[in-house]
Amino acid sequence: MGLYVNPAPTGFRATPTIWTANNGANNASRLRLDGTKIGDYALASGAFAVCYAGGFVWVVTSAFAPNNLIYKLDPATGGILASWAVTNSPTGVCTDGTTLWISTHSGAGNGWVRQYTYAGAAGLVANVGDNPYGCCYGAGHVWVPNYVSGTITKVRVSDGAVIGNYATLANPFRSCHDLTNVWVVQRGASSVRKFLAATGASLGDSATGADPCGVCTDGTYVYTANRLGNSVTKIRISDGAVIATFAGLATAYDIAFDGMFLWVALFGGGTVAKVRPSDGTIFGPYATDIGPTGVAVGY
């Protein structure tokens, strides 16, 4: 998922690897930075989102019970270290640097974000909007886009209190935090909305390609993965200006930044592309497995 390293990763490895959650193949793939696939790792049905936290790679499976699971993987070997059941259907995962937060929904108009330790112990629970997808962390709060409600919820991690629900345009899906602002892609409006994280104030919308599904930042620009636009949009953080559109990325679904390059999960191709953010040069794409819906950097 959209990655700006906040907080800084622990368990750092000198050579990171790229991970994808492959919804169509029910597994996760691991690749080297040159695009060489290291392996595929079988999971339960519906692998959907992936993140790195606490020295481990975490993958949630989005099918309904009995496959509502979070997997803990070794980033050095791909081995499954543990898995445990998550209440309701998980759709996203992020970290506050100490614990995991997982967005979940029941399919009946309800949604939550749930805290878990890295050992699998359940913690705080906050009720958010209808059908949440994904979450991001920054400055003591988790932000959860609610796809059906058309809102994004701000939750304080110290006690699980809901600080606010802020309106978006149609179908907010995934988000990222640039240390000052929160950005949420709006699939139904082909745009991304910028919120001031401190107050929740909306700072405006920037146009993207059609059906943006993923978003990340390098600290200076925000990048959206546009599924139906077959592209990535580059947006300047300071003023929301659209700087460039990188075409040739069919069914771009999620996006992450490794410190030098963007990695774009291409859902329809069963691949991931490596993109130079300065000019949009595409390397690859490289094989993952069927239907990647999440991408992350594992350190």
Residue-level pLDDT at 15: 80
Q: Residue 216: which residues within 8 A CB-CB, separation 6 or more?
A: 1, 2, 3, 4, 176, 222, 223, 255, 256, 257, 262
In whole angstroms, what is the distance from residue 273 CA to residue 284 CA? Answer: 5
**Mean pLDDT confidence for 4-26:** 69
Q: What are the φ and ψ backbone dihedral angles of 187, each rounded to 5 degrees?
A: -60, -40
pTM: 0.94
**Mean pLDDT confidence for 78-93:** 92
Structure tokens that stand for 8 in this block: 């800084």
Most confident of 5-9, 24-28, 41-45: 24-28
The more confidently predicted of residues 107 and 93 is: 93
CA dihedral 7, 266, 223, 183 (to 10 degrees): -60
185-194, Cβ contacts within 8 angstroms, sequence gap of 24 or more:
185/212, 185/213, 185/214, 185/215, 185/224, 186/212, 187/147, 187/211, 187/212, 187/213, 190/226, 190/229, 192/222, 192/224, 192/233, 192/235, 193/168, 193/169, 194/240
Residue-level pLDDT at 11: 43
How many other CB atoms are there within 10 angstroms of residue 194's CB atom?
22
In whole angstroms, what is the distance from residue 1 CA to residue 15 CA? Answer: 19
In whole angstroms, what is the distance from residue 173 CA to residue 134 CA? Answer: 7
**Mean pLDDT confidence for 11-26:** 81
Residue-level pLDDT at 9: 44
Encode pLDDT of 62-77 as tens digits.
Answer: 765 567 899 999 998 8
- DSSP letters, 181-242, are EEEEEEGGGTEEEEEETTT--EEEEEE-SSSEEEEEE-SSEEEEEETTTTEEEEEETTT--E
Which domains does the chain show, CATH number per domain? 17-298 (2.130.10.10)
* Model confidence at 132: pLDDT above 60: yes
Residue-level pLDDT at 14: 57
**Mean pLDDT confidence for 232-239:** 98
SS3 content of the chain, % helix, strand, coil (to 5): 0, 55, 45
**Mean pLDDT confidence for 182-190:** 98
**Mean pLDDT confidence for 194-209:** 98
Encode pLDDT of 159-171 as tens digits.
Answer: 999 999 999 999 9
Encode pLDDT of 95-127 as tens digits.
Answer: 999 999 999 988 667 899 999 999 999 999 999
Q: Is 3 helix (H, G, I), strand (E, B) or coil?
A: coil
Name the average pLDDT for the chain. Answer: 92
Give the residue from 126, 80, 78 showing the smallest Cα distance to 103.
Answer: 126
pLDDT class for 130, splitting at 50, 70, 90? very high
* Model confidence at 8: pLDDT above 90: no
